Amino acid sequence: MTRLIAIVLLLATLTTTARAQTWSLELFAGAAGYNGDLTKSSLVTRSLKPAFAFNVKYQIHPQFSLRAGLAYASVSGDDKFTKDTLLMLRNLSFTSPILELSFCVEAAILDPEIFPSYPYLFAGVGAFRMNPFAYDSHNDKVYLHPLRTEGQGLSEYPDRKEYSLTQLCIPFGGGARFKINEQFSLSIEAGFRKLFTDHLDDVSNSYVDPVVLSTKVSAKALEMAYRGNEVGGLYDPYPPYGAHRGNPKKDDWYYFGGVKLTWNFSDPYSY
């Protein structure tokens, strides 16, 4: 009798596992935002830009899945959206495309085989590619990384290394999923990215010597490092060497929020 019970329990476990091993495709559409040296609040709605993602998901258990995702978005920040007078005078701005590859574990809070709608959480690791740029006073697009606006890579500032445009991140977040039928479900999801760089916006440290910046890099580098003289057409002198430009002790963040359609393309009647 004991052996029979053990066999039944084993078969039930194997059946549950077999049912759980299904594949899904997910399409996400929403908005992306940023938090860093060009923001004074966690959410600046005027800076939100479109975001899209595609996930492949493999369910290993009724409540746990592995997913690999590719996301594309654009994030931006602008001093003109703050009420801080000094930051408005600094007049910096940036936009950066984001191309992200991530691998996450997703956990349903409730059993999907019992509840047609349920909340879920996810977390994992990822890598992304950025390339911040801004528009100058002539509305020409200028990529900021080559300008070394804070003296990165210059011999005069050996402690300021050039930052990489490819970085690691830790994605995490959650959402709520609503089952439509056996193959389709709709979700509302919000995800955050813990970054290990403070240069998503090309702003991190302090101002460098304007003479060094203009002679060692270019006049354009000096122009884009501080843009106070563009505010209201008035001339504002470049800040003194060592003056605060950003906060190097606080890394940048970006985040996604939107709607996701999931298609389970495994045959629901094959198990």
Q: What is the pLDDT of residues 172-230, one digit of tens each?
A: 999 999 999 989 999 999 999 999 999 999 999 999 999 999 999 999 999 999 998 77
Do 121 and 176 meet the contact criterion of CB atoms below 8 Å apart? no
Question: CB count, 10 Å around CB of 249?
Answer: 7
Domain boundaries, the chain: 22-264
Indicate the length of the chain as a whole number: 271
Residues 7-36, buried b or exposed e (16+ Cβ, 10 A)?
eeeeeeeeeeeebbebebebebebbbbbbb
The candidate with the shortest Cα–Cα distance to 28, out of 134, 173, 155, is 173
What's the pLDDT score for residue 16? 44
What's the pLDDT score for residue 19? 47
What's the pLDDT score for residue 12? 40
What residues in the chain have per-residue pLDDT under 50? 1-2, 4-20, 268-271
What's the pLDDT score for residue 124? 98
Do 202 and 257 meet the contact criterion of CB atoms below 8 Å apart? no
Q: For the domain 22-264, what is the CATH code?
A: 2.40.160.20
What's the pLDDT score for residue 58? 95
The candidate with the shortest Cα–Cα distance to 166, out of 193, 123, 196, 186, is 196
Question: CB count, 10 Å around CB of 147?
Answer: 20
Cα→Cα distances 115→60, 62, 63, Å: 18, 11, 11
